[in-house]
């Protein structure tokens, strides 16, 4: 069976954090810039990806620095007397406070620019570096002032921590990393030499052979650590670029996952040259080894590409990568599918349900006219989108289970006797597999979806998929009025006729169904203007942002 989850909306959407929006186009555009990033940062330099990674890494580094400095601040309290007069304790506390403030800034600054992030990077690493300079100088000063003679301390430990934290956390190329790490490596050596020239006690120590050994040892430790860190940065950056390249499909850059379905996963993407947002469907990796699945995937593309109706989704491109990943590129649809509309706001008003269903009928009329039966009509495959300056444009998606009604080699791609479709909305003949599905099978599914739109539930609701399938075959569908008392009687009759068990008793084509919907007496009309008002007032914020992106794109 095509579906494993038996909810009406079978798409999984990863949505960004909602924000409050007003009703104006300008506010929609502002939301689009914040929530749907489809243009910025897709250059080969990974600028946008670097910005996002850098903010997270700087947050992590500042938190770790804060925890480390705070722990040593607590230690100071227990091991040091006269803290009030100990200026180094207060310097340490200042560094701790700065790290806390930087962590808070990185946590809250979601849309900070790359330039400001680089400035934050400077603060987060320069502040401890300055403190370590003072700490190293003080350690050497204390050693020089000991009565029993100078004891040369190992001062490179905090610098090693700083060097490797920078190398591991900050996305960089090796040249920029070297420009930062080399001064870090030279700093403790510089402190040793500076102390030698300025402190008489340390000069006496420097006259001994041990000083040369000490200095060379510290220098070699730092040189080796800097070299390892720079090479590590280069390798990490190389892996980042390889991961970035892996997210490229030809001229398309994958941005974020939008959802998943029976045949594959859908991503928001961008054409690198045209900077046009689009949606890319990828076949699931675990199915890549099945030749029949591959053939069905390609057939979906070819069949959908034949459709030119306004209410069918447009296919832009198709291809495969060197590793065998198949994909096709389609128009990016800002909006909700029918399942999401009902889940969010309950059953739709009869006028809106009819308005959308008539558009779906128009799209199916073209498909049926060239011999295609969809066979997987369900709420998740009917999208309510913003297109061409209009809201509530219905788009019929996913012809992955479509089957030609004319004989060809491709008709063997679906195994004979197998059950295809969504259990909650499939026709009885699809459930039994006793005969081939035809246009009237799609009409049954349209009736089941219309039932769902008007009542907020599918015709048959059971926990077990097999019971749902059996119900489609053997149980009479409940009357729409049992769940929605205010719908016109004529509309209920249309739904119930679509849901007839015998295909001969249904509407025989979608044109007849559409004509019947046109004749339904409705208390109110649903128009594009009413749809626009609904979007401004009731649509969820992230979907408003998607629509805003389309508004902005159309205005360019």
Catalytic positions, written as ranges: 376
> Cα torsion at 447, 453, 459, 460 (round to 10°)?
130
433 in Cβ contact with 415 (< 8 Å): no
Those residues with Cβ within 8 angstroms of residue 273's Cβ, 6 or more apart along the chain or in another chain: 251
Those residues with Cβ within 8 angstroms of residue 452's Cβ, 6 or more apart along the chain or in another chain: 8, 338, 342, 379, 425, 458, 459
Q: In 3-state terms, what secondary structure has residue 277?
A: strand
CA-to-CA distance for 553 and 378, rounded, in angstroms?
A: 29
Token pair 């409705």 in the structure block, residue: 522
| Tokens, residue 505 | 């008793």
Those residues with Cβ within 8 angstroms of residue 262's Cβ, 6 or more apart along the chain or in another chain: 2, 3, 376, 400, 401
336 in Cβ contact with 383 (< 8 Å): yes
Angle separating helix axes 87-108 and 47-79, nearest 10 degrees: 150
263 in Cβ contact with 300 (< 8 Å): yes
- Distance, C-alpha 271 to centroid of its chain: 17
CA-to-CA distance for 480 and 493, rounded, in angstroms?
A: 9
* 25, containing H or E segment: helix 25-35
Q: In 3-state terms, what secondary structure has residue 252?
A: strand
| Tokens, residue 449 | 């979806």
Q: Which of 445, 447, 442, 448 is nearest to 509 (CA)?
A: 442
Count Cα neighbours of 73 within 13 Å in the Cβ-side half-sphere: 15
Q: Let me know how long the chain is.
A: 556
Main-chain dihedrals φ then ψ at residue 328, nearest 5 degrees: -140, 155
Q: Which of 251, 245, 308, 311 is nearest to 280 (CA)?
A: 251
Helix ranges (DSSP H) in 156-208: 157-169, 174-198, 200-206
CA-to-CA distance for 410 and 146, rounded, in angstroms?
A: 90
> Cα torsion at 419, 370, 445, 525 (round to 10°)?
160
Those residues with Cβ within 8 angstroms of residue 203's Cβ, 6 or more apart along the chain or in another chain: 196, 197
CA-to-CA distance for 518 and 8, rounded, in angstroms?
A: 26
């Amino acid at each position: 069976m095509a579906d494993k989850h038996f909810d009406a909306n079978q798409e999984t959407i990863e949505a960004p954090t909602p924000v409050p929006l007003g009703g104006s186009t300008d506010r929609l555009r502002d939301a689009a810039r914040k929530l749907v990033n489809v243009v910025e940062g897709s250059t080969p330099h990974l600028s946008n990806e670097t910005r996002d990674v850098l903010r997270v890494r700087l947050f992590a580094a500042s938190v770790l620095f804060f925890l480390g400095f705070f722990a040593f601040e607590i230690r100071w309290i227990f091991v040091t007397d006269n803290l009030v007069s100990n200026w180094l304790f207060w310097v340490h506390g200042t560094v701790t406070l700065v790290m806390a403030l930087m962590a808070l800034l990185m946590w809250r600054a979601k849309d900070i620019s790359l330039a400001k992030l680089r400035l934050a990077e400077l603060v987060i690493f320069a502040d401890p570096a300055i403190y370590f300079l003072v700490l190293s100088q003080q350690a050497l000063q204390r050693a020089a002032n000991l009565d029993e003679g100078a004891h040369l301390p190992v001062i490179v430990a905090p610098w090693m921590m700083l060097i490797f934290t920078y190398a591991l956390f900050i996305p960089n190329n090796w040249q920029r990393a070297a420009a930062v790490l080399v001064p870090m490596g030279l700093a403790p050596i510089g402190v040793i030499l500076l102390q030698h020239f300025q402190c008489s006690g340390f000069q006496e120590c420097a006259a001994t052979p041990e000083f040369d050994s000490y200095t060379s040892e510290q220098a070699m430790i730092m040189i080796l650590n800097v070299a390892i860190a720079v090479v590590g940065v280069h390798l990490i950056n190389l892996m980042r670029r390889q991961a970035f390249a892996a997210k490229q499909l030809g001229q398309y850059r994958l941005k974020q996952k939008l959802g998943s379905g029976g045949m594959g996963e859908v991503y928001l993407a961008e054409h690198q040259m045209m900077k046009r947002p689009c949606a890319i469907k990828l076949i699931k990796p675990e199915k890549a080894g099945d030749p029949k699945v591959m053939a069905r995937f390609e057939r979906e593309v070819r069949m959908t590409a034949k459709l030119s109706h306004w209410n069918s989704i447009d296919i832009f491109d198709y291809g495969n990568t060197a590793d065998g990943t198949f994909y096709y590129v389609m128009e990016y649809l800002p909006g909700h599918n029918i399942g999401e509309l009902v889940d969010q706001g309950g059953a739709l008003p009869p006028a809106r349900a009819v308005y959308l269903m008539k558009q779906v009928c128009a799209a199916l009329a073209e498909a049926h006219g060239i011999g295609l039966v969809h066979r997987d009509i369900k709420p998740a495959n009917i999208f309510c989108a913003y297109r061409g300056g209009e809201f509530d444009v219905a788009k019929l998606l996913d012809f992955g289970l479509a089957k030609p009604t004319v004989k060809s080699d491709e008709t063997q791609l679906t195994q004979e006797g197998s059950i295809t479709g969504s259990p909650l909305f499939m026709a009885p003949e699809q459930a039994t597999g006793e005969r081939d599905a035809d246009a009237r099978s799609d009409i049954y599914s349209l009736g089941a979806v219309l039932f769902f739109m008007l009542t907020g539930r599918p015709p048959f609701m059971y926990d077990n998929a097999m019971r749902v399938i059996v119900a489609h075959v053997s149980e009479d569908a409940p009357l729409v009025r049992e769940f929605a008392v205010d719908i016109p009687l004529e509309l209920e009759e249309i739904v119930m006729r679509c849901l007839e068990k015998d295909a001969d008793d249904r509407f025989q084509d979608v044109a007849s169904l559409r004509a019947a919907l046109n004749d339904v007496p409705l208390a109110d009309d649903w128009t594009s203007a009413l749809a626009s008002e609904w979007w401004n007032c009731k649509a969820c914020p992230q979907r408003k942002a998607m629509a805003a992106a389309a508004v902005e794109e159309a205005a360019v």
